[in-house]
Amino acid sequence: MSVAQEIIKIKKELPKHVELVAVSKYHPAELIREAYAAGQRIFGESQVQELQRKHEELQMEGLQWHFIGHLQTNKVKYIAPYISLIHSVDSVKLLAEINKQGQKIGRKIRCLLQLHVAQEENKYGFTEEECRSYLASGEWKQLTYVELCGVMCIATNTDDEEVVRREFHRMSVFFKDAKQKYFAGQESFSICSWGMSDDYPLAIQEGSNMIRVGSKIFGARVY
Ligand SMILES: *Cc1c(COP(=O)(O)O)cnc(C)c1O
């Protein structure tokens, strides 16, 4: 199937409340144009340099860029002017830098808190404990140029569906608890970003409302 056909097929099967992020990392601008022509507007990238290049090349009406990779603090300034959502905020230090860069340009930047729920050691993110205590501290309320919009995670890369389901479920519980305790009146804190090509149907069953799908749309990545 072509990129356009995949996009249309996935979208048709998605419940209305679930947003699709087309993960275009390592794929050429040409394929992004194809997806855009099929109606896709949100694209996810994981490297600042690559995103910068594509952002300059692709100036299409309504196109939104989401950052989904590990973000180094010294690179926040490059994407701050245009990024629509940063999924991968994995430290308090990074959050402070995003706030600083947002302040410089007078732009409130939408962010998700990335939690580390997977069994692999090499993944980024807050532990649930760290995130809970950060939220409880209330420090984030000082960051007036950051808008906390929800949570994100990457599940363990395994064929064991129960492991993945359990991780998504924990995220869902975590989100609901945080929402109720700290963001009850805030409509913008509403995003549950989990689910990729191999596990998004499961993710949706377990409360995701934003899925990040790459290879299923664009094919295998060539690194
Ligand atoms: C690459 C990537 C994806 C997409 O992965 P696929 O398996 O190709 O769908 C989703 N989320 C993050 C954070 C990624 O880095």
Question: Would residue 9 count as lying in a domain?
Answer: yes
Q: Which residues pair with 192 in a beta bridge?
A: 151
Q: What is the pLDDT of residue 122?
A: 73
Ligand 1 atom 15: residue of nearest CA: 69
CA dihedral 79, 218, 13, 20 (to 10 degrees): 0
Output the pLDDT for position 89.
Answer: 98
Inside any domain, residue 183: yes
Residue 223 lies in a domain: no
- In a domain? residue 14: yes
Instruction: With beta carbons less than 8 A apart as the criterion, state whether 20 and 42 touch.
Output: yes
Residue 170: Cβ within 10 Å count: 15
pLDDT at position 118 is 87
Ligand 1 surroundings by CB, under 6 angstroms: 23, 25, 46, 68-69, 154, 196-198, 212-216
Residue 170 belongs to a domain: yes
Answer yes or no: is 153 within a domain.
yes
Does residue 182 sit in helix, strand or coil? helix
Q: What is the pLDDT of residues 95-121, one digit of tens each?
A: 999 999 999 999 999 999 999 998 887
Contacts of 186 (CB under 8 A, 6+ apart): none
How big is the chain by its Cα radius of gyration, in Å? Answer: 17
Q: What's the CATH code of the domain at 149?
A: 3.20.20.10
The answer to the question of residue 22 being in a domain is yes
* Domain membership flag for residue 139: yes
How far apart, in whole angstroms, are the C-alpha atoms of residue 54 and residue 66? 12
Residue 196 CA to ligand 1 centre (angstroms) = 6
* Mean of per-residue pLDDT scores for the chain: 97
- Alpha-helical regions (H) of 26-184: 29-37, 48-57, 76-79, 92-105, 128-137, 161-182
Structural domain span for residue 109: 3-218
Q: What region does 212 belong to: left with phi over 0, alpha with psi -120 to 50, or beta?
A: beta
Number of domains in the chain: 1
Q: Tell me which residues of the chain have a pLDDT lower than 50.
A: none
| Shortest-distance atom of ligand 1 to CA 218 | 8
Tokens of 46: 């994981």
